[in-house]
Structure 1
Amino acid sequence: MATIHKFEELEIWQLAKDLYETISPLSDKLKKNKDFRFAEQIKSSSGSIMDNIGEGFERSSRLEFINSLGISKGEAGELKSQLHRLNIDTYITEKEFQELYKKADTLCAKIAAFMSYLNTTAHKGLKFKDRQK
């Protein structure tokens, strides 16, 4: 695996950013319908996915990164549930729901796979690289 120097290089962060860019306009649509709380919830959960990936990466610790990825995966699960709500409340069509849900589900799977990889590597991260145990 190639060395990653910035979190923006991570495929999972790029996918999370793409998902946020798709969800953000939906939040504006919710606000126009006076559904302010839901608008903030969906924008927050989609943004938290990418934010936690960035935060975990910058902590320079493999275990802290894995923890942050777990939080990101949880936020993606929350977003998937919110997509159901968008569909039920007819803010999006069934086709839009299927497309967005697939993006979120794929992101969840890729985060889980990356967590599995990090759990098998001996690399500790910069924070603990010089420690014996």
Structure 2
Amino acid sequence: MDQINSYRDLKVWQRAMDMAQSSYELTRSYPGEERFGLTAQTRRAATSVPANIAEGYGRSSKGAYLNFLRIAQGSLKETETHLLIAVRVGLATEAAAADALRQADELGKMMRGLIIRLEAHAPD
């Protein structure tokens, strides 16, 4: 197992960064009229995921870390919803959104597993 010296060593954070990047790349194709709408909302939610994972890792207690992981989960579901709305309203095709949605699904499973493992250990 690789040693964890920083939040940047966490696979879950790395995957969250990949998903945020994919979301940014997808939203580049949205029309300019969405700049302050779905483009901004999607990007904000997507960047919130790795940011909250990192912030939680930097906290001094497991309880705080778990709280930030749960916030990251909420932001992930928000990101997925924005991507699905973009497909439904014709801003993106299903094929174009598929990679970001696949990454989000995988990331959600990873975060849930991390939360379960942290909860299983003795309280902080």
TM-score, normalised via structure 1 length: 0.84
Percentage of identical aligned residues: 25
> Which has the higher Rg, Structure 1 or Structure 2?
1
SS of structure 1 residue aligned to 2:16: helix
Displacement of 1:3 in angstroms is 4.5
Alignment of 1:1-133 (within 5 A): 3-30=3-30, 32-35=31-34, 36-122=36-122, 124=124
Of structures 1 and 2, the one with the larger relative CO (CA 8 A, separation 6+) is 2
Instruction: Give the gaps of 5 or more residues in structure 1.
Output: 125-133
Distance across 2 between alignment mates of 1:3 and 1:60: 19
Across the two proteins, how many residue pairs are aligned to each other? 123
Displacement of 1:93 in angstroms is 1.8
* Residues 57-78 of structure 1: per-residue CA shift (max 9 Å, x gap): 0012111001100000011111
**After TM superposition, which residue ranges in structure 1, 4 or more long, deviate above 3 angstroms?**
none
Displacement of 1:123 in angstroms is 6.9
TM-score, normalised via structure 2 length: 0.89
* Residues 26-66 of structure 1: per-residue CA shift (max 9 Å, x gap): 33333x43112211100000000000000000012111001
SS of structure 2 residue aligned to 1:4: coil
